[in-house]
Amino acid sequence: MTQSRPDTRTLTRASVVLQELHDEAPAGDFTLGWLMGSLHKQSFGLIMLMLAIMSAAPGIGFVAGPLLIVVAFQMIAGSPAPIFPRWIAARPLPTRHLGAVMQRAIPMLRYLEKMIHPRCPTPPGATRRVVGIAVLALTARLMLSPIPLSNILPAVVIALISLAYLEEDGLMLAIGLVAGFVVLALDLGVVWELVHGAKLIWLSV
Query: Rounded distance, CA 177 to CA 181, Å?
Result: 6
pLDDT digits (tens, 9 = 90+) for 187-202: 888 767 767 676 667 7
Render 103-114 in DSSP notation, one character per residue: HHHHHHHHHHHT
> What is d(CA 120, CA 169) in angstroms, rounded to the nearest whole number?
6
CA angle 105, 109, 112 (to 5 degrees): 140
Q: What is the DSSP string of 127-147?
A: HHHHHHHHHHHHHHHHHH--S
Q: Helix 44-55 vs helix 152-166: angle between axes, to the nearest 10 degrees?
A: 160
Residue pLDDT, tens place only, 75-86: 999 887 787 778
Whether 171 and 119 have beta carbons less than 8 Å apart is answered as yes
Q: Are strands 83-84 and 2-3 parallel, antiparallel or unpaired?
A: antiparallel
Are the C-beta atoms of residues 161 and 114 closer than 8 Å to each other?
A: no
> What's the pTM?
0.80
What are the C-alpha distances in Å from 37 to residues 53, 115, 130, 198?
Answer: 18, 28, 27, 50
- Can you list the alpha helix ranges (DSSP code H) found in the chain? 14-24, 32-38, 44-55, 61-76, 86-89, 95-113, 124-144, 152-166, 170-204
Q: What is the dihedral of CA 53, 54, 55, 61, to 10 degrees?
A: 160
Q: What is the CA radius of gyration of the chain?
A: 18
Neighbours of 92 (CB within 10 A): 12
The pLDDT value recorded for residue 6 is 46
The yes-or-no verdict on residue 185 having pLDDT over 80 is: yes
pLDDT tens digits along 128-175: 999 999 999 999 988 887 676 778 889 899 999 999 998 889 999 999
